[in-house]
Amino acid sequence: MRSSLLFRRVFTLLAAALILWIVLTAILYAFIARPVFTDMKAREIEPLAHILADRAGLTDDSLDNFVHETVGYANEMFGNWMFVISRNTPFIFHTPLPDSMTSIRQEIVSTVSDADRQLAKADSVVFTKSFKGQSSAFLFVVVPIGAPLDGPGSLAIVQPMSEINAGILSLNLALLTSSLAILLIMIVPIMLATMRILKPLHSVRRVAMAMSAGDFSQRADESASGEFHDLAVAVNHLAGELSSLIAQLTFERNRLRQILNSIAEGIIAVNKEGLVTECNLKVWDVFGVTTDMSRPLSPDVFLQTTKLNEFFHDAMTMKQDVAHVISKDHRQIYCLITPLINERGTHDGAVGLFRDITESERLEQTRRDYIANVSHELRTPLTAMRALLEPLAEDMVRKEDDKKRYYAILLRETMRLSRLINDMLELSRLQATDDSAELCIVQLEPIISNVLQRFQPVAEEHDVSLSAPGSMSDCPNVWSDPDWLEQIIAIFVDNAIKFTPKGGDITLGIKADSDTAAISVRDSGVGIAPEDIDHVFDRFFKADRAHNEPGTGLGLSIASEIARQIHATLSVKSEPGEGSIFTVHVRTADAAIKDMPVTIDAEESP
Asked if residue 478 lies in contact with residue 442, where contact means CB atoms within 8 angstroms, the answer is yes
560 located within any domain: yes
63-70 mean pLDDT: 83
pLDDT given at position 270: 92
Spatial CB neighbours of 201, under 8 Å, sequence gap ≥ 6: 6, 228
Residue 82 three-state SS: strand
Q: Are strands 81-86 and 92-94 parallel, antiparallel or unpaired?
A: antiparallel
Q: Is residue 303 part of a domain?
A: yes
Out of 144-153, 278-287, 347-356, 564-573, which region has the weakest mean confidence (pLDDT)? 144-153
Q: How confident is the model at residue 605 (pLDDT cuts 50, 70, 90)?
A: very low
Residue 204 lies in a domain: no
Mean pLDDT value of segment 224-233: 81
Q: Which of 352, 354, 263 is nearest to 309 (CA)?
A: 352
Give the pLDDT of residue 294: 46
| pLDDT for 415 beyond 60 | yes
- Share the mean pLDDT of the chain: 81
Q: Looking at the structure, do residues 285 and 397 belong to the same domain, yes or no?
A: no
Q: Give yes or no for residue 293 having a pLDDT over 60.
A: no
Do residues 376 and 500 share a domain?
A: no
- Based on the domain organization, do 449 and 578 belong to the same domain? yes
328 and 282 in a common domain = yes
Q: Which residue has the higher pLDDT, 598 or 555?
A: 555
Per the structure, how many domains does the chain have? Answer: 4
Residue 59 has pLDDT above 80, yes or no: no
Query: Considering the domain boundaries, does residue 370 fall inside one?
Result: yes
Mean pLDDT, residues 317-343: 88
The mean per-residue pLDDT over the stretch 18-34 comes to 77
Report whether pLDDT(16) > 60: yes
What's the rounded Cα separation, in Å, for the pair 159 and 45?
9
Range with the poorest average pLDDT among 14-28, 36-50, 207-221: 14-28
- Asked whether residue 298 is assigned to any structural domain, the reply reads yes
Lowest-pLDDT range of 221-230, 273-282, 431-440: 431-440
- Angle between helix axes 5-54 and 162-212 (nearest 10 degrees) is 160
The whole-number pLDDT of residue 336 equals 93
Q: Are 238 and 246 in contact (CB under 8 A)?
A: no
CATH number of residue 83's parent domain = 3.30.450
CATH of the domain at 341: 3.30.450.20
Examine the domain organization and report whether 404 and 510 are in the same domain. no
Residues 345 and 368 in one domain: no
d(CA 557, CA 370): 12
Give the Cα separation of 361 and 323 in Å (integer).
17
**What are the φ and ψ backbone dihedral angles of 466, each rounded to 5 degrees?**
-120, 120
Say if residue 551's pLDDT is above 70. Answer: no
Q: Once rounded to an integer, what is the mean pLDDT over residues 243-254?
A: 87
434/391: higher pLDDT: 391
301 shares its domain with 392: no
Chain-centre distance for alpha carbon 170? 71
Which of 431, 448, 473 finishes a domain?
Answer: 431
Q: By the 8 A CB rule, do 462 and 452 touch?
A: no
Q: Compute the distance between CA of residue 275 and CA of residue 298 in angstroms, rounded to an integer.
A: 11
Judgement on whether residues 43 and 158 belong to the same structural domain of the protein: yes
CATH of the domain at 501: 3.30.565.10
96-100, 257-261, 363-367, 558-562 — which is least confidently predicted? 363-367
**Residue range 369-412, pLDDT digits in tens:** 667 766 766 676 777 778 878 888 888 877 888 888 888 888 87
CATH number at residue 396: 1.10.287.130
Distant-in-sequence, close-in-space partners of 564: CB < 8 Å, separation ≥ 6: 430
Q: Are 352 and 366 part of one and the same domain?
A: no
Residue 541 confidence (pLDDT) above 90: no
- 528 with 561, same domain? yes
* Closest alpha carbon to 176 in 32, 28, 13: 28
Q: State the angle between helix axes of 482-499 and 555-565 in degrees (0 to 180), rounded to the nearest 10.
A: 160
Q: Where a domain ends, among 168, 190, 221?
A: 168
Strands 465-467 and 440-442: unpaired
Are residue 469 and residue 565 in the same domain, yes or no?
Answer: yes
C-beta contacts of 328-331 below 8 A and 24+ residues apart: 328/287, 328/288, 329/288, 330/358, 331/286, 331/287, 331/288, 331/356, 331/358
Answer whether residue 167 shows pLDDT above 90: no
Tell me which of 327, 356, 385 is where a domain ends: 356
424 pLDDT band (50/70/90 cuts)?
Answer: low
Residue 245 inside a domain? The answer is no
- Residues 378 and 469 grouped into a single domain: no
For residue 606, pLDDT beyond 50 = no
Whether 242 is covered by a domain: the verdict is no
- Amino acid identity for residue 509 in this structure: G
8-12, 23-27, 295-299, 363-367: least confident range? 295-299
Q: In this structure, is residue 151 part of a structural domain?
A: yes
Q: What is the pLDDT of residue 288?
A: 80
pTM (two decimals) = 0.41
- Expressed as residue numbers, the domain containing 273 is 263-356
Which pLDDT score, from 0 to 100, does residue 185 have?
Answer: 83
